[in-house]
Amino acid sequence: MEEGAFGMSTGLDYPPGSYADTAELTELSREAARLGGIYHTHVRYSLGDRFLDPFREALDIGRGSDIPVHITHFYHRTTSPGGASRMLGLVEDAREPGLDVTFDSYPYNLSSTRLLDPRCPSGRTTAAPSG
């Protein structure tokens, strides 16, 4: 960041970002916050309930490191009653006590950008892939 970066960005649905746990991301975000940065994330959509839990993780990282949070591709993959209003409620509830939260979305059906590489297995593990 001292060289001009705006903060820390993660792609938690993709290796190697998928290997990082919440505690590690919070610690790294504290350093970015110390330097005036933001936490920008493509959340881990496979987490927990696969609906609100991925966004809760992002907000928890922001709260735990006192850093502004930007959630990219804010959408839900599952059909859930009140889906959009429940998601927006998470953001509003986080903003109410003072967390700076923004998001972006896209106005079209989702597609994939994942490049398949056998050297980077998907999923969370306790160690980086070998090889």
Confidence of residue 124 (pLDDT cuts 50, 70, 90): very low
Token duo for residue 19: 């290997």
Parallel, antiparallel, or unpaired: how do β-strands 38-42 and 69-71 relate? parallel
For residue 28, the model assigns a pLDDT of: 97
Q: State pTM to two decimals.
A: 0.82
Looking at the predicted structure, is the pLDDT value of residue 114 above 50?
yes
Confidence of residue 106 (pLDDT cuts 50, 70, 90): confident
7-103 is a CATH 3.40.50 domain: yes
More confident residue, 23 or 13: 23
Looking at the predicted structure, is the pLDDT value of residue 130 above 60?
no
For residue 51, the model assigns a pLDDT of: 87
Burial class (CB in 10 A: 0-12, 13-18, 19+), 48: exposed
